Amino acid sequence: MTTDNKGYSVASDASVLESTPEADAAAFASDAGPRNVVDAFKGYVAKVRGGEGGALPAILGALVLVIIFANTSDVFLSKGNFANLLQQAAQISVLGMGMVFVLLIGEIDLSAGTAGGVCAASLALALNNDGDLQASLGTGVFVALMLIMVATVVLAALSKLWIPAVIIALGIVVAVAHLGTTQLLAMFLSVAVGTSIGTLIGFLVARVGIPSFIVTLALFLAWQGVLLKFIGTGAAIPTRNFDLVDKIENGYMPVVFAWVVWALAMLAYLGTTAYRSISRRREGLSAEPLDLVLVRAGAIAVVTGIAVFVLNQDRSRTVFAKIQGVPWAVLIVAIVFVFWTYILTRTQYGRFLYAVGGNRQAARRAGIDVKRIRMSAFVICSGMAGLAGIIGASYLGGVPSDFGKNTDVLYAVGAAVIGGTSLFGGRGKVRDAVIGAIVIAMIPNGLNLIKNISSAYVFLVTGLVLLVAAGADALSRRSPAED
């Protein structure tokens, strides 16, 4: 030991200031991640025991429901019902994926269901009136809608949310120029209206400071009024005659095309995950072991391959026509799932979102624009509500005046929570909404196949499943000091 110029003792041993490669390797060994499948499995078991079950409870719940319904109905495991189940889950999946973003920051959006109804109504009105929303809504209502969308363009731009600002601005162009007669542009208009709604909600919550529960509850009621103004009491706007919209839920991919998409998707997944594992391990960074990547990719390929095989079989009950192929809605859900999973797990924005949800004050001190991130979560949620509205309109064959006001938002929240997303923020994945949506859709699907059972049980069972999932989430968040 030596002393510095102030008389304090300091270490003179160079080993304190310098380290060897061996010492560095030992110090960071715990950061390298599991070395093989066995280590990964042990780590996962430890996480489950610690209360972080992720999607495991939902998967186990789905297996239990399959066993129950398979023993109570001969139709449940049929090829036709399997396709019906996926079609019924599509709208909930998309709306739930949007809800995940809001839940990740510890907020909630109760208006997503009726917002989707307003978006779907905009789509249907544009299609049925040669793109002329002004003629179908009336000049006063149309001008009010355009003014709101213009205002949200400004709000998005001021918050540096450039992509939403562009989407809304293009939606205004579609509406004003009567371009909604083209089905793709009408669908874009639906998403643009949803993006505008999300910008308004995000501004009121993140910038003004009104609690999200109050804002979205108020708008849940307000959008019902807007929908009635758009459509009229007891009326419905048909969409069945528009081939592109109708085929989303009622059309099927060609058999060969479905297999090609499946093969390309599996190869892309295996290639990207294996490359990431190898490259990160080569640089000494934390990464999943290659054998774990291969096992997981193989399991996903087997499960999805079986699903594609079953859906590609003829499931018609007559000899006059064939019904086979993967529903286009399934492909849409898959594309949306991959896109948002990439955004959450591979981008700076995703890291910021988790940081804000985990600890808002710490995120602010780290230099993250917390208000912008919070606002963006509501934009994504309502934009996804616009897409869910399109899928719902395709499934129903039209847009009724009560679209989205009943159980849509409850099912969306339920899907995310049942799948493993926390209601307290900071924990969850996009996949949670898809897995949860299948569980949610499975309940009415299976119960309706049982003879002489009341529809009341659908709500009772769904409510109990959601309560159990929320209870498990709350218990996993409790600290020992709270016991």
73 lies in a domain? Answer: no
Instruction: Assess if residue 67 is contained within a domain.
Output: no
**Percentage of the chain lying above the pLDDT 70 cut:** 88
More confident residue, 19 or 229: 229
Q: Per-residue pLDDT for 108 more than 70?
A: yes
The whole-number average pLDDT for the span 180-205 is: 95
Same domain? 116 vs 245? yes
HSE toward the beta carbon, residue 19, CA cutoff 13 A: 8
42 pLDDT more than 80: no
Average pLDDT over all residues of the chain: 85
Q: How much is the average pLDDT of 462-482?
A: 65
Domain boundary among 295, 326, 357: 326
Quote the pLDDT of residue 472.
Answer: 66
Summarize pLDDT for 438-466 with one digit per residue, the tens.
Answer: 988 888 888 888 877 777 777 787 777 77
* Same domain, yes or no: 317 and 354: no
Residues 105, 243 within the same domain: yes
Q: Is residue 55 part of a domain?
A: no
pLDDT of residue 475: 66
Residue 345 lies in a domain: yes
358 and 229 share one domain: yes
Question: Is the distance from CB of 425 to CB of 358 less than 8 angstroms?
Answer: yes
When pLDDT is averaged across residues 89-95 and rounded to a whole number, the result is 93
Mark whether 172 and 89 lie in a shared domain: yes
Pull the structure tokens for residue 378.
């509501």
Q: How far apart are CA 331 and CA 248, in angstroms?
A: 9
> So what's the pLDDT on residue 409?
75
Number of domain units in the chain: 2
The answer to whether residues 202 and 100 belong to one domain is: yes
Domain match, 233 and 363 both:
yes
Same domain as 366, residue 465: yes
Please check the confidence at residue 51 and state whether its pLDDT lies above 60. Answer: yes
**Of the given ranges (149-158, 217-226, 232-241, 339-348), which has the lowest mean pLDDT?**
232-241
Q: Render pLDDT for 13-38 as a digit per residue (tens, 0 to 9).
A: 444 444 555 544 444 444 556 666 77
Q: Judge whether 83 and 317 are in contact, CB under 8 Å.
A: no
**What is the distance between the alpha carbons of residues 286 and 73, in angstroms, rounded to a whole number?**
48
Q: How far is CA 240 from CA 86, 101, 322, 326, 467, in A?
A: 20, 32, 20, 20, 37
Q: Where are the alpha helices (DSSP H) in 130-176?
A: 133-137, 139-158, 162-176
Burial of 274 (C-beta count, 10 Å sphere; 0-12/13-18/19+) = middle
Q: Is residue 48 one of the residues assigned to a domain?
A: no
Exposure of 197 by Cβ count < 10 A (0-12 exposed, 13-18 middle, 19+ buried)?
Answer: buried
Q: Per residue in 134-187, pLDDT tens?
A: 888 889 999 999 999 999 999 999 999 999 999 999 999 999 999 989 999 999
Do 116 and 262 lie in one domain? The reply is no
Answer yes or no: is 168 within a domain. Answer: yes
Beta-carbon contacts of 351 under 8 Å, excluding residues fewer than 6 positions away, are none
Which range among 164-173, 189-198, 317-326, 438-447 shows the weakest confidence by mean pLDDT? 317-326
Q: From CA 35, how far away is CA 286, in angstroms rounded?
A: 10
Q: Which domain holds residue 309?
A: 253-326
Please give the pLDDT value at position 393.
Answer: 93
Final residue belonging to a domain, choices 326, 354, 382:
326
| 377 lies in some domain | yes
Helix (H), strand (E) at residue 400: strand 398-400
Residue 417's pLDDT band, with cuts at 50, 70 and 90, is confident
Bigger pLDDT: 475 or 267?
A: 267
Q: Confirm whether 292 is domain-assigned.
A: yes
Choose the final residue of a domain: 302, 326, 350.
Answer: 326
User: What confidence score (pLDDT) does residue 463 get?
Assistant: 77
Q: Are 156 and 258 in a shared domain?
A: no
The answer to whether the beta carbons of residues 169 and 193 sit under 8 Å apart is: no
Cβ proximity of 194 and 387 under 8 Å: yes
Which is higher by pLDDT, 362 or 47?
A: 362
In this structure, the answer to whether residues 168 and 179 fall within a common structural domain is yes
Q: Which of 124, 311, 351 minimizes the C-alpha distance to 231? A: 124
Average pLDDT over residues 108-137: 91
DSSP-assigned letters across all residues of 71-82? HH-SSTTSHHHH
194 pLDDT above the threshold of 70: yes
Q: What pLDDT sits at residue 73?
A: 85
Q: CA-CA distances (angstroms) from residue 289 to 34, 38, 52, 67, 268?
A: 6, 10, 21, 34, 18
324-335 mean pLDDT: 94
How big is the chain, counted in residues? 483
Please indicate, yes or no, whether residues 408 and 282 belong to a single structural domain of this protein.
no
The residue-averaged pLDDT of 109-124 equals 92
